Amino acid sequence: MSERYLSINSIYKATEGEGINIGRPQVFVRFQGCFVGCVNCDSKDTWAFSDSDQDKWTLTKAIDEIWSLSGEGSLTWISITGGDPLHPKNVPGVEALTKELKKKGFLINIEAAGTRVVPSLFDLVDYISFDFKTPSTNVRTDVALIQKMEQLYKGKFQIKSVVESKTDFEFCQKNYLDLKRQLDRFAFPWVLTPSYNVNESFPEKRFQDVLSWNESNGAHFRVIGQQHKWVFGSSAKNV
Ligand code: SF4
């Protein structure tokens, strides 16, 4: 294995807390570095890039840690997240890691920020969780990227959107209906995640609102909260 340095914030074992794979134990690899800038980001400690190899993991060390945390392959799923694992500075390292993990028989999920489709990587992985950013994030996802995902990765991805307000819900609803008109077949799951912000108490009213808006407006979405925040609190890391 050729040695390579990867910008990794942390590697840890936990149970998937959100999206359609909620409840699945897996090993998470959290890459460091993100320029996307969501205002309600709960991982701002992952934003800074470092150019120093001293702050990085070698590919060998990362593989060893994943192998150990997975119980030598007992946990089959690895989730690559961030930060932004799809930032061009991270993609070569993520690709190298993915190739080595695939050789060991792991299945790979990647968390995509919704800012780019990266076929060289998406072709390698087994599942893609692709964000469709809502107005409350102050970041925009180009709807053409969702169309591209449906063309290239049918059956292999989910869309996830954080919903903070009715404006966010209505934005998702409008774009859902527009896409439905444009695409021949529309089979991917679109998950609404009621926001549960850092240091916030459990937002029961917001959660109830999102459930109600969805139920009353065609029920196009799956509403799935962030289970790990209910269990460990909204500020806990790597859980
Ligand atoms: S893409 Fe992810 S890590 Fe980057 S700012 Fe948005 S929520 Fe935070």
Residue having the nearest C-alpha atom to atom 2 of ligand 1: 83
Residue 126 has a pLDDT of 98
Residue having the nearest C-alpha atom to atom 1 of ligand 1: 113
Ligand 1 mean position to 123 CA, how many Å? 23
Mean pLDDT, residues 84-103? 97
Q: Which pair of structure tokens corresponds to residue 136?
A: 């409350």
Closest CA to 125 of 151, 90, 155, 99: 99
Ligand 1 mean position to 81 CA, how many Å? 10
Residue 106 has a pLDDT of 98
Judge whether 185 lies within some domain. Answer: yes
Atom of ligand 1 nearest to the CA of 115: 1
Write the CB contacts of 198 (distance below 8 Å, at least 6 apart in sequence).
Answer: 42, 234, 235
Judge whether 238 lies within some domain. Answer: no
Judge whether 144 lies within some domain. Answer: yes
- Which of 7, 29, 36 should be mutated for ligand 1, with most atoms under 8 A from CB? 36
Q: How many domains does the chain have?
A: 1
Judge whether 128 lies within some domain. Answer: yes
Q: CA torsion, points 62, 66, 72, 73, in degrees to nearest 10? A: -120
| pLDDT tens digits, one per residue of 51-89 | 777 779 999 999 999 999 999 999 999 999 999 999 999
Protein residues whose CB sits closer than 6 Å to any atom of ligand 1: 34, 36-38, 41, 43, 46, 82-84, 113
pLDDT over threshold 90, residue 128:
yes
H helices of the chain, where?
59-69, 91-103, 119-122, 143-152, 166-182, 204-216, 227-232
- Given a contact cutoff of 8 angstroms between Cβ atoms, the answer to whether 120 and 95 are in contact is yes
Judge whether 213 lies within some domain. Answer: yes
Residue having the nearest C-alpha atom to atom 3 of ligand 1: 83
Judge whether 135 lies within some domain. Answer: yes
Judge whether 198 lies within some domain. Answer: yes
- Given a contact cutoff of 8 angstroms between Cβ atoms, the answer to whether 125 and 109 are in contact is yes
Summary mean pLDDT of the chain: 95
Atom of ligand 1 nearest to the CA of 131: 1
| pLDDT tens digits, one per residue of 108-120 | 999 999 999 999 9
Q: CA torsion, points 61, 64, 70, 76, in degrees to nearest 10? A: 90
Residue 184 has a pLDDT of 73
Cα–Cα distance, 55 to 100 (Å, whole number)? 21
Residue 217 amino acid letter: N
Write the CB contacts of 26 (distance below 8 Å, at least 6 apart in sequence).
Answer: 13, 14, 15, 16, 75, 77, 78, 79, 109
Residue having the nearest C-alpha atom to atom 6 of ligand 1: 38
* pLDDT band, residue 170 (cuts 50/70/90): very high
β-pair type (157-163, 190-194) = parallel
Residue 163 has a pLDDT of 98
What's the gap between Cα 195 and its chain centre?
A: 14
pLDDT over threshold 70, residue 2:
no
Cα–Cα distance, 18 to 82 (Å, whole number)? 15
Judge whether 237 lies within some domain. Answer: no
| pLDDT tens digits, one per residue of 180-215 | 998 877 789 999 999 999 989 999 999 999 999 999
Ligand 1 mean position to 181 CA, how many Å? 30
Ligand 1 mean position to 83 CA, how many Å? 6
Ligand 1 mean position to 28 CA, how many Å? 16
pLDDT over threshold 60, residue 1:
no
Residue 185 has a pLDDT of 73
Question: What CATH number does residue 20 fall under?
Answer: 3.20.20.70
- Which domain covers residue 18, as residue numbers? 5-232
For 176, other C-beta atoms within 10 Å of its C-beta total 20
Mean pLDDT, residues 138-146? 96
- Given a contact cutoff of 8 angstroms between Cβ atoms, the answer to whether 195 and 165 are in contact is no
